[in-house]
Amino acid sequence: MAPDNLRRSFEGRIQGALYAAEICLVLGLVAWHRQIGRTNPAEFWVSISGIVTIIAFMGMVVMLMIVSWSCLADRRAGSRRWILAVGMNVAVVAVVFFVGEVALRMLVVRTNTGEKLGTLLLYPRQWNKTQAAYQSILDKADQNKAYVVPDGELGWTLGKGRRSENGLYFIGNQGVRTARAGEVISAEPRSCRIAIVGDSFTFGENVAFEDTWGSVLESTLQGHCQVLNFGVPGYGVNQMYLRYLRDVRPWHPDIVILAFITDNVARTMGVYSFLTFPDAGVPFTNPRFMIHNDELQIINRPLLTAREVFSVRAIRDLPFINHDRKYEPTEWDEPQWELLNKSYWFRVLTSLHPVYKFDRPETSISETIKINGALFLKFQQAVIADGAKPLVVHLPSEYDFKSEASEAFGVKVLKSINLPHIDVTRCMRSFPVSELFNAPEVGGHYSVKGNQEAAQCLLRDERAGFQGVAFR
């Protein structure tokens, strides 16, 4: 072989071995990173990521031995070709790394959820950047009158006399949604008064007041019943129950409708709304129920204010953070990986597949069923004790129409406690999904048509007991 060919072959062998060693190093670090949070060392040796880690680091050692042997042989021969080969490798790797880092940093978009590369959320989510994002939200909130405001008992509620920035929502002076700003609803006794509690589907997100299903219900009943809308965006079953106890009771309604979507059951298991609604930018604290000695108790009172939440040193320092179903420790910055996590290359590679997930007894499926079941029963008992009729109504979300499950998880919770309820899903299935829901980019709530059908389906259900009222 010609000397030039020998030289190129030698340099190619060293560079190839170095590239292979570097690839093995990156692969090993990414695989090892997936072991974050494992407490049982034995799991490492049988897990896929553990096996990949071992093979990758063994491969790196072998490649480095080849490089070392080649460089030593070249040096003994009195040549310095190995210096050129190693230098070329270092230069190529440095250029690729630097250019890639700059490009990634330019392409990354910062959101309330975290940093995103396209649709890819980059892990770990960095607490200091989350703090900074929400501090700016809080500073802005201090200057504006939002229609949803903090509440020391409920977490958040509707601000009395407020209106939304877009002018679509008006809150009356008694804290319920109304047709006009600052409207005062007559509290005089009525022949029939219906109170509805729920989340944004009940509040009527993205539609005018007269198009909400509660307003449609009232107009269809031809003035026989007054319908009061106590729906609050973002509520879980826990907050619906508490809202009834504090805000609905004084109105002495004849019928109380707790209208929920399945996601409300999951929200009950949250503590911090920035985790439950990462894209919404809501910095509230959720009252978290647990069962102790067969009794429901709120474990996190007094509720932290938004400023208190974002003043802690690290997310793991937040009180009761392990009781939040959306908290995944492996998704957040870990001190031992701080140096590597400064590289966006590494963050992209480790974010392509989320790390190992860990179940906690505080947020398990069984605990979710138990706590929500207890809340539904407490609601029913409280309403009956107040001399009113309780109606628990499952409203389908768009997910329920697309899911292959025979019934929604929230309905399964109700059946587990044998609680009478109304599910309007089957009734609403007679209409195309595109007619019932607004586009996902505006929230995916009921359209005007969806609100109308939800009300009509409820009215037609014999268990609701509206058949004796003259309809239009």
Residue type at position 74: D
pLDDT band at 37 (very low <50, low <70, confident <90, very high): low
Q: What is the mean pLDDT of the chain?
A: 88
168 and 307 within one domain: yes
Q: Which amino acid is at 326?
A: K
Query: Has residue 140 been placed in a domain?
Result: no
According to the model, what pLDDT value does residue 217 have? Answer: 94
Q: In this prediction, what percent of the chain has a pLDDT beyond 70?
A: 94
Boundary of a domain, candidates 107, 131, 154 = 107
* Any domain includes 350: no
Give CA–CA dist 174/157, Å, rounded: 12
In a domain, 453, yes or no: yes
Q: Determine the pLDDT at residue 472.
A: 32
pLDDT-based confidence at residue 50 (cuts at 50, 70, 90): confident
Question: Secondary structure of 278-303 in the HEC alphabet?
Answer: CCCCCCCECCCEEEECCEEEECCCCC
Residue 76 lies in a domain: yes
Q: Any idea how long the chain is?
A: 472
Residue for token digits 């070329």? 88
**Taking a C-beta distance cutoff of 8 angstroms, is the pair 177, 171 a contact?**
yes
77 and 178 in a single domain? The answer is: no
| Domain-terminating residue out of 107, 122, 156 | 107
Six token digits for residue 402: 């697309």
Is residue 297 domain-shared with residue 368, that is, in the same domain? Answer: yes
Which span out of 69-78, 215-224, 240-249 was modeled with the highest average pLDDT?
240-249
Q: How far apart are CA 245 and CA 30, in angstroms?
A: 51
123: number of Cβ within 10 Å:
23
Enclosing domain of residue 306: 145-323+358-464
| pLDDT over 70 at 33, yes or no | yes
Is 333 contained in some domain? no
Check residues 335 and 306 and name the one with the higher pLDDT: 306
Helix segments in 357-467, DSSP class H: 365-385, 398-402, 409-416, 425-428, 433-436, 448-460
Same domain, 224 and 365: yes
pLDDT tens, residue by residue, 63-118: 999 889 888 888 887 777 888 888 889 999 999 999 999 999 999 998 877 889 99
* Residue 299 sits in the same domain as residue 388: yes
Query: Domain end: 107, 132, 154, which one?
Result: 107
Give the amino acid at 157: T
Do residue 157 and residue 82 come from a single domain?
no
CA distance 323 to 454: 34
Judge if 193 and 89 occupy the same domain: no
Cα 141 to Cα 270: distance, rounded to the nearest angstrom: 23
At residue 471 the predicted structure's pLDDT band, cuts being 50, 70 and 90, is: very low
In a domain, 139, yes or no: no
Q: How many domains does the chain have?
A: 2
Task: Convert the pLDDT of each residue in 228-242 to its tens digit.
Answer: 999 999 999 999 999
In tens, the pLDDT along 384-415 reads: 999 999 999 999 999 988 887 778 999 999 99
Q: pTM score > 0.95 for this model? A: no
Neighbours of 118 (CB within 10 A): 8
Does some domain include residue 218? yes
Same domain, 82 and 36: yes
Instruction: Phi first, then psi: give them for residue 280, nearest 5 degrees.
Output: -90, -20
Check the CA dihedral 55-59-65-66 and report its sign. Answer: positive
Proportion of the chain above pLDDT 90, given as a percent: 57
Here the CATH number for the domain that contains residue 310 is 3.40.50.1110
Instruction: Give yes or no for residue 200 having a pLDDT over 90.
Output: yes
Based on the fold, state whether residues 155 and 91 are members of the same structural domain: no
- Other CB atoms within a 10 A radius of the CB of residue 115 amount to 20
Burial of 47 (0-12, 13-18, 19+ CB in 10 A): middle
Q: Note whether 305 and 444 are same-domain residues.
A: yes
State how far the Cα of 14 lies from the Cα of 90, in Å rounded to an integer.
12
Are 86 and 213 found together in one domain? Answer: no
One domain, residues 193 and 304: yes
Annotate 153-198 with DSSP letters as a single string: TTEEEEPTT-B-TTS--EE-TTSSEESSTT-----S--S-EEEEE-
* Higher local confidence (pLDDT), 16 or 260: 260
pLDDT of residue 41: 75
pLDDT confidence of residue 470? 41
